[in-house]
Structure 1
Amino acid sequence: MKQEAPAAPSGTLDALLAAQRDACQREPYPPWETRARHLRTLNELLLENRDALANAINTDFGQRAKAEVMLAEFVLLKQEIDAALAHGRRWMKPQRRRTGKWLRPARAKVVPQPLGVVGIVSPWNYPLLLAAGPLVGALAAGNRAMLKVSELTPRTSALLEALIGGAFARDHVAVVNGDASVGAAFAALPFDHLLFTGSTRVGRDVMLAAAANLTPVTLELGGKSPAIVGGRARFDYAVDSLIAGKTLNAGQTCIAPDYVLLPRGSENAFIARARRRVAQLYPDFAHNRDYTSIVSERHYARLVRLADEARDAGAQLHPLADSDAAARRFAPTLVTNAPAHVALMQEEIFGPLLPLVPYDTLDDALRYVNARPRPLALYLYADDSATVERVTRETVAGGMAINETLMHVACEGLPFGGVGASGMGAYHGYDGFVTFSQMKPVFVQSRFNARNLVAPPYGRLFDALVSAMMKF
């Protein structure tokens, strides 16, 4: 039986925010040693409880392999924490900036300063990574944090609340559980920054709620992330890579490829190769324990509706294995000839359905991508530099990977974020530190300066000085 997450009264949320604000005032600029201690505490919490957390995630999904959880959640989290511990002291240092020649000998710098209290709203599909990942950046930047975790993974959320509550003071880091009404109240709090990961539809509501307080937001949304297979791509490699990316977490990934643009006439070759690849990745599919279940009956039914509507409109479905509705195991399924108007081609799929869209020329493929809302990710399979250069320059996406799927999110030095309908702002690594900091510009005037030369009363000397400035 599904466990319902308890609702947190709005007054409790207000009191919690007030307590964290008071704590910020007592320690507005934590030294690096304090921040590093908090990061190590989070690291130890995750590592010491990895089995319990993996088991909770597996139970919430109905089936999600521990190996996949370790790879897709724990490894990425440890990398994020390790990077913050290795570089955070340097990130904190003031950065010298140029003043320009007319302000010399003054000095300028940017001082990273904690924002205060950060709100983090995390989704169900990666319930650990997408809650604790942003928390790493918030802690490295010296902030307090409140996390609203998903009610769709109740065991994981309850365990995370208990673990965080046992390791951190509640006025430092607190986990909030509750249903959608609690999420709405949470988003309406006057945080110093709010990071939301979820759907574009809910993201609009979150941004509207935050606007009432002028709370700055980072929105990590989704959309339809395209994959383009170039005319001279290593075709089998491209298919294998795309299938691996699409089947991870059964496609319940915000950056999973949502459709594939491939040279016209290669659809059957793609289907045949994909069928072999699924058999290699998940042998004895009906009993394979590495393939993830869809998180809930409602989400499973939605995928069935997407497939049925497309089929009824004339599309062909190509299941690569046999689904099991009772276990919510939706088999990877390719779709050809899907009409543009069906929901499958309009909505983010968030499951293992993958439409194939043939193109005649690269120009056609680029027009197809650019006629749609800007995606969170774009994947290109090509080895010739001309194609890589064109696609890189002539498309706009939150992130891009060439000859790979998903892995850009694991790259330590790259920011992660969306653009347009797929989100705004970015985090991970140094970019996360910046997102959760006020990069305060500071101008330091020299004892000896020319300020009086540009002050009233204006006269010949002023005119001569401005004339000289304008000539450069």
Structure 2
Amino acid sequence: MNTARGPQADAQSGHASVADAAPVPDAQQLSLGALLDLQRNAFVRDGIPSAATRRDRIGRLQALIVDNLDELAEALRADFGSRPYDLSMATDLVSSAKSLTHDRAHLEKWMRPRRFGNPLARLALRGEVRPVPKGVVGILGPWNFPLNLVILPAGAALAAGNRVMIRPSEVTERTTAVLARLAGEYFRADELAVVTDVHGDGADFASLRFDHLFFTGSPQIGSLVAQAAGRNLVPTTLELGGKNPVVIDHSADVEKAARRVAASRMVNGGQVCLCPDYAFVPKAHVERFTAYVLDEWRNRYPGIVDNEDYTSIINDRNFDRVVGLVEDAVAKGASASSTAPTGEALPDRRSRKIAPTVLTGVTPAMRVAEEEVFGPVLTVYPYDDLSEPIEHIAAGEHPLTLYWYGDRNHAFEQLLANTRSGSVNVNDFAVNLMHADLPFGGVGQSGAGYYHGAYGFETFTHQRAIAVSRLPVSLAGLLNAPYTRRTKRLNSVQIKALRRSIQER
């Protein structure tokens, strides 16, 4: 049994505190179905949580991270084989905790009902919308940022007043084990629970009858998750990936752009859904751009195999996939330029490390032209006219983000008007993540739905409409026989008003 580290009594709702409430089974002792029933019953029993309860739950999630930074960072390193401590701090841990601070600070504002209609109209008809929690939210996480990408949606779901079940990636098993244990220390299983392999796999989780399911991962797995959720009519948010393009404008500082793109490609070993996948560069600058990219990589990584600051590819399967993409391209005529240090034989299977590589001369017949790389490989294409990158981007699946280097000029607006992407980042990597209230999400194959800040709150909230009538007549009566002269007169007045509005366009 587990009572968890609990809050004080909720003064607003009068609900018992977690510490005082009756014990509930540990999440690891329950089946998936039993855990879902436990959370749903608790949601119905306790009703809509107050702002104080929501702040407390988010605060405990934040404490789970901050109290255990080193243990979580070590679990991440062990799962990857080689992953810098400071990278894990910046991406998975500190950024997650900061996002939760934002949720706690703003949730009361997000919770406020909205009223509609002018004061005179409200005398007869009053309408309002109350944001209410959906119930139990399921979160399926990925392996590349296995903490950040479950903590952020979990925080938003708690802010919205929901109960939460998290299924972290099966790939990062050490991190999942630590998170599951800590969740039991900070939460009762009927508030928030982390499920593991003992409960089944991701497919079993996706098949549960949640009130909302949130998934982060590849489009291929996302399709299967959506199908599983669809069988139960569970609303689903899909945060997926894609081949993110870079367009270097003629107005750009080529060296600065190249060095920033090079650094962007190597975040987390290139295993980020927002990493640039390929770059379009004015033909006259391709050689310089490529040289600066390679120089930046050499400066950052003078050693690779034994360098603990160089992130490994997550597992053998993905290592083989990335190596295979490069080998396939070269076999079909592409040129590969890597920054393998002298004396190091790369790619190295033991450490699962691949030298940063630029591919040129890539054609549509090569796998790398179609598949998302998710590794330290950048393709560079030359262009003469902006219509070339626009045509290429528009012909493919919509990416999660699009990068532009250069002035915000007419060409920039032309690119935006003729392409689609989840977001657009200008002159640097993932700038959209620095704005707490910008929505984060894809479009088409790169995702459906969005979160972060108020958008995350809205994703996990049902907007419940409440309408009150003070009319002296019955609306139902007007819509039923017998249809009197008053009914006909009312219809006539409305038709005349519609015709007048059309004529006044």
TM-score normalized by structure 2? 0.88
* 1:298-331 deviation per Cα after TM superposition (whole angstroms, max 9, x unaligned): 2111111111011000011110234333211211
Aligned partner of 1:352 in structure 2 is 376
1:300 aligns with 2:328: no
Q: CA, structure 1 residues 355+181, in 2 after alignment: closer, same or farther (shift >3 Å)?
A: farther
Q: CA deviation at 1:393?
A: 2.1
* Bigger Cα displacement from structure 2, 203-212 vs 101-110: 101-110
Residue 5 of structure 1: aligned partner: none
Shift of 1:450: 8.0
* 1:97 pairs with one of 116, 120, 123: 116
Q: Does 1:182 align with 2:206?
A: no
Using the TM superposition, give the Cα deviation of residue 391 of structure 1 relative to its aligned residue in structure 2, in angstroms: 1.8
**What is the SS of the residue equivalent to 1:276?**
helix
Cα drift, residue 101 of structure 1: 8.5
Work out the CA distance in 2 between the residues paired with 1:299 and 1:120: 23
- For residues 192-341 of structure 1, the aligned pairs below 5 Å read 192-322=211-341, 323=346, 324-341=348-365
Q: What is the aligned partner in structure 2 of residue 424 from structure 1?
A: 448
Instruction: Tell me the TM-score normalised to structure 1 length.
Output: 0.94
- The Cα shift of 1:280 comes to 2.9
User: How far off is 1:255 after superposition?
Assistant: 1.2
- Identify the residue that residue 139 of structure 1 maps to in structure 2: 158
The answer (yes or no) to whether the contact 2:283–2:384 under 8 Å persists in 1 is yes
Q: How many residues align?
A: 465
Contact 2:304 2:353 in 1 (8 A): no
Q: 1:247 to 1:207 in 2, by over 3 A?
A: same
User: Alignment partner for residue 83 of structure 2, among 64, 71, 93?
Assistant: 64
Structure 1 SS opposite 2:237: strand
- Asked whether the equivalents of residues 125 and 467 of structure 2 are also in contact (C-alpha less than 8 Å), the reply is yes
| C-alpha distance in 2 between matches for 1:402 and 1:362 | 16
Aligned-partner SS, 2:275: coil
Mapped to 2, the partners of 1:252 and 1:101 lie a distance apart of: 57
Shift of 1:209: 0.5
Does the C-alpha gap of structure 1 residues 209 and 10 become closer, same or farther in structure 2, counting only changes over 3 Å?
A: farther
Structure 2 unaligned spans of 5+: 1-26
Deviations for 1:8-37, whole angstroms, at most 9, x for unmatched residues?
999811111111110110122000000000
Partner residue, 1:378 = 402
The counterpart of 2:495, out of the listed 446, 450, 467, is: 467
> Matches of 1:28 and 1:116 in 2, distance apart?
10
SS of match in other structure, 2:266: helix
Q: Quick one: distance in 2 between partners of 1:332 and 1:66?
A: 21
Q: Which runs of 4+ in 1 moved over 4 A?
A: 8-11, 99-104, 447-456
C-alpha distance in 2 between matches for 1:251 and 1:36: 35
How far did residue 442 of structure 1 move?
1.9
Ranked by relative contact order (alpha carbons within 8 Å, sequence separation 6 or more), the top structure is: 1
Contact kept? 2:28, 2:195, Cα under 8 Å: no
CA deviation vs aligned residue, 1:435-468 (integer Å, no higher than 9, x gap): 0000112222235578489545242532443234
The 1:105–1:387 alpha-carbon spacing in structure 2 relative to 1, beyond 3 Å, is farther
> What is the root-mean-square deviation in Å for CA atoms of aligned residues?
2.2
Deviations 1:181-217 (A, max 9, x none): 6111110111100011111111111111111100000
Is contact 2:140–2:150 with CA below 8 Å preserved after alignment? yes
For structure 1, the residue ranges without an aligned partner over 5 or more in a row are 1-7
Q: Cα distance, 1:288 vs. partner? A: 3.0
Secondary structure class of the residue paired with 1:15: helix
- Confirm or deny: 8 A CA contact 1:151 1:179 kept in the other structure: no
Name the SS for the 1:326 alignment partner.
Answer: coil
After superposition, give the CA deviation of every residue in 1:323-350 in whole Å (9 maximum; x if it has no partner): 3332112111110011212211111111
Letter paired with 1:434: E
